C-alpha cells in the first residue's frame, strides 16, 4: 500500500517536512482555499503539486473537490456546478493528479459532537454522541418537525441533556457541529443551516440517489476520458442526519452507485471508520465485492458505545473494526490486481505534545504518526507471513 498523509495546505499546523519524517511518501490534499463550486486555477494546482514535490513527496490523491449543495438538492442551474467540477478534473489530470476522493453528504460533511473526548490513557479523541446531536437538532437548531425523527426515549434523553447543560456546553456543541470540521465543504450559522436543510424539501433516499446519478452522468465521462479515478467517500456517520437522506452508508448503497454507471472511473474510498460505525457493514465482504473499484483507503477504527449510534475514535488497531484483517484483504487485492492502493491513517488521538500545540481536529501530528506506524507494522508483518506461507 502507498503510505499517505492528509495535509491541508500551507496553513496546516503539520508541515510537509513532518509528513516526510513520519515515513509517508504520498500527500492527500486539495485547494481548500478555493470557494465551493469555483474553478481551480491550473497554475495554482501546479504550484501546490510542485511545493509537495520540493518536500520530497508526491500529491497522489485529491481530497476533495467539494460537490456544490445545489447539485445535491437539485437547485435550478445545478448543472453549471457539475460542469465546473468536471473541468477541475481536466485541470488536475493535466498536472498528473488522477485520483479524486469526494463525498455526497447533504449540507454537513463529517459530523462530531466532541473534539476532545478523554480516553482512559489521557489521549483526546473525537466523539459522536447521539443524544447530544438530538438535543442540538431539537432544542438549539429547532429544526421544523424534528421531533418526528426520534423515538419517545430519544426525545426524553435529548430533553434531559439540554436541561442539564449550561450555555457554554450548548455553544461548544453548536460550534463543533456547524462550524465545519477539517475538509468540510462549508460552515454555517444556525439560520443558514436551517435554510440549507429546508432547500432539500421532502427529498427521500430515492430522490438523493437520482441527484447523485445525474451528477455522475455528467462527470464520469470526463473522468474516464482523462484517466481520472473517482472514489466516493462513505457517509460519516453512516445514517441520516437532520432529516436528510444519506445514501453512501451501506454495501447496498455502494452497489447502487456502481450499478448506476459501470464506468471504470466510478470507484470507492474504503473508509473503515465511517463504514465501521454500523455493525451490519461487513468490511471484508465490501472489499471482496468492490475489489478493483477501491482506489483509496482511510484506515481507522471507532468504538461503538452502549447506544450504538454513539461512537468515539479508537486507537488504529483497537475498536470494533479489525484493521489487521482489512489490511490483509487489501494486500491480497493488491497482489491480485498488480497495483498499490493509497492509504492514510485517519483521525488520530491527540497525544503527548499534540495536546500542548495547535492541532487540527482529527489530524494531530503525533497521533497520526502512531497510527501510521501501527498500520505499517501490521502490513509488514502480514507480508512476512504471506512470504513464509505461515
pLDDT at residue 204 greater than cutoff 80: yes
* pLDDT for 366: 96
Catalytic one of 68, 295, 298, 312: 298
Q: What is the pLDDT of residue 182?
A: 61
Which listed residue (233, 312, 316, 349) is catalytic? 233
Over pLDDT 70: what percentage of the chain? 97
Active site residue 363: yes
What pLDDT score does 179 carry? 72
The β-bridge partners of 4 are: 26
| Grid coordinates belonging to 140 | 438549539
Which parts of the chain fold into alpha helices (H)? 16-21, 42-54, 69-73, 78-94, 130-135, 152-164, 167-178, 190-198, 205-226, 251-260, 272-276, 283-290, 323-337, 365-388
Residue 390 has pLDDT above 70, yes or no: no
pLDDT tens track for 165-192: 999 999 999 999 987 666 565 678 999 9
SS3 115: strand
**Sheet of 311-313: strands edge to edge?**
114-118, 124-128, 311-313, 302-304
Q: What is the pLDDT of residue 378?
A: 96
1-23 average pLDDT score: 96
| pLDDT tens figures, 305-348 | 999 999 999 999 999 999 999 999 999 999 999 999 999 999 99
Q: Which of 315, 380, 381, 319 is nearest to 345 (CA)?
A: 315
Of the candidate CATH numbers 3.30.70.120, 3.40.50.2000, 3.20.20.150, 3.30.1330.20, the domain formed by 2-388 belongs to 3.20.20.150
64-73, 153-162, 180-189, 351-360: lowest mean pLDDT where? 180-189
Task: State mean pLDDT over 34-38.
Answer: 93
Q: What is the pLDDT at residue 355? A: 93
Distance of alpha carbon 185 from alpha carbon 316, whole angstroms = 26
Say which of 12, 129, 236, 346 is annotated catalytic. Answer: 346
Confidence of residue 84 (pLDDT cuts 50, 70, 90): very high
Per DSSP, the three-state class of 314 is coil
Task: Summarize the confidence of residues 3-26 as an average pLDDT.
Answer: 96
Distance CA 223, CA 254 (A): 19
Q: Looking at the predicted structure, is the pLDDT value of residue 360 above 90?
A: no
Active site residue 271: yes
The pLDDT mean for the chain works out to 95
Strand 342-345 with 311-313, pairing = unpaired
pLDDT band at 359 (very low <50, low <70, confident <90, very high): confident
For residue 94, CA distances in Å to 7, 46, 48, 61 come to: 22, 9, 14, 14
Residue of 271, 295, 314, 354 marked catalytic: 271
Query: Is residue 40 predicted with pLDDT exceeding 90?
Result: yes
pLDDT of residue 188: 87
- Give me the pLDDT at residue 389, please: 55
pLDDT in tens, 260-310: 999 999 999 999 999 999 999 999 999 999 999 999 999 999 999 999 999
| pTM to 2 decimal places | 0.94
Q: How confident is the model at residue 385 (pLDDT cuts 50, 70, 90)?
A: confident
Instruction: Name the active-site residue from 68, 295, 316, 347.
Output: 347
Q: Where are the domains of the chain?
A: 2-388
Nearest CA-CA partner of 107 in 212, 209, 247, 244 = 244
- Active site annotation includes 346: yes
The model's confidence at residue 78, banded by pLDDT at 50, 70 and 90, is very high
Let me know the angle formed at the C-alpha of 190 by 187 and 192, rounded to the nearest 5 degrees: 65
Position 361 confidence tier, pLDDT thresholds 50, 70, 90: confident
Amino acid at each position: 500500500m502507498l503510505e499517505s498523509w492528509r495535509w491541508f495546505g500551507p496553513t496546516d499546523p503539520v508541515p510537509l517536512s513532518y509528513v516526510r519524517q513520519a515515513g509517508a511518501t504520498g500527500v492527500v490534499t486539495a485547494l481548500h482555499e478555493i470557494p465551493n463550486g469555483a474553478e481551480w486555477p491550473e497554475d495554482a494546482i501546479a504550484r501546490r503539486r510542485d511545493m509537495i514535490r520540493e518536500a520530497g513527496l508526491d500529491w497522489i490523491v485529491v481530497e476533495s473537490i467539494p460537490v456544490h449543495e445545489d447539485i445535491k438538492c437539485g437547485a435550478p442551474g445545478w448543472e453549471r456546478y457539475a460542469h465546473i467540477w468536471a473541468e477541475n478534473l481536466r485541470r488536475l489530470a493535466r498536472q498528473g493528479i488522477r485520483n479524486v476522493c469526494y463525498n455526497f453528504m447533504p449540507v454537513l460533511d463529517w459530523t462530531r459532537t466532541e473534539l476532545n473526548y478523554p480516553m482512559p490513557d489521557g489521549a483526546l479523541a473525537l466523539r459522536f454522541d447521539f443524544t447530544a446531536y438530538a438535543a442540538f437538532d431539537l432544542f438549539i437548531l429547532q429544526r421544523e418537525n424534528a421531533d418526528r425523527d426520534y423515538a419517545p426515549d430519544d426525545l426524553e434523553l435529548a430533553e434531559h441533556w439540554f436541561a442539564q447543560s449550561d450555555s457554554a456546553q450548548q455553544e461548544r456543541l453548536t460550534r463543533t457541529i456547524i462550524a465545519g470540521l477539517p475538509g468540510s465543504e462549508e460552515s454555517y450559522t444556525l439560520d443558514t443551516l436551517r435554510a440549507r436543510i429546508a432547500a432539500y424539501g421532502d427529498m427521500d433516499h430515492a430522490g438523493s440517489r437520482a441527484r447523485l446519478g445525474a451528477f455522475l452522468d455528467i462527470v464520469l465521462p470526463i473522468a474516464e476520458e482523462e484517466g481520472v479515478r473517482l472514489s466516493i467517500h462513505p457517509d460519516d456517520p453512516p445514517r441520516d442526519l437532520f432529516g436528510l437522506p444519506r445514501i453512501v452508508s451501506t454495501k447496498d448503497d455502494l452497489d447502487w452507485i456502481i450499478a448506476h454507471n459501470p464506468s471504470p472511473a466510478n470507484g470507492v474510498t474504503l473508509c473503515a471508520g465511517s463504514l465501521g460505525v454500523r455493525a451490519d457493514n461487513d468490511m471484508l465482504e465490501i472489499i471482496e465485492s468492490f475489489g478493483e473499484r477501491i482506489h483509496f483507503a482511510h484506515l481507522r477504527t471507532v468504538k461503538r458505545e452502549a447506544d450504538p449510534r454513539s461512537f468515539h475514535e479508537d486507537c488504529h488497531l483497537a475498536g470494533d473494526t479489525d484493521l489487521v484483517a482489512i489490511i490483509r484483504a487489501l494486500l491480497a487485492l493488491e497482489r491480485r490486481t498488480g497495483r498499490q492502493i493509497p492509504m492514510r491513517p485517519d483521525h488520530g488521538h491527540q497525544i503527548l505534545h499534540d495536546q500542548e500545540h495547535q492541532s487540527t481536529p482529527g489530524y494531530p501530528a503525533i497521533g497520526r504518526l502512531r497510527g501510521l506506524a501501527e498500520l505499517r507494522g501490521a502490513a509488514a508483518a502480514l507480508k512476512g507471513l504471506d512470504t513464509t506461507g505461515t
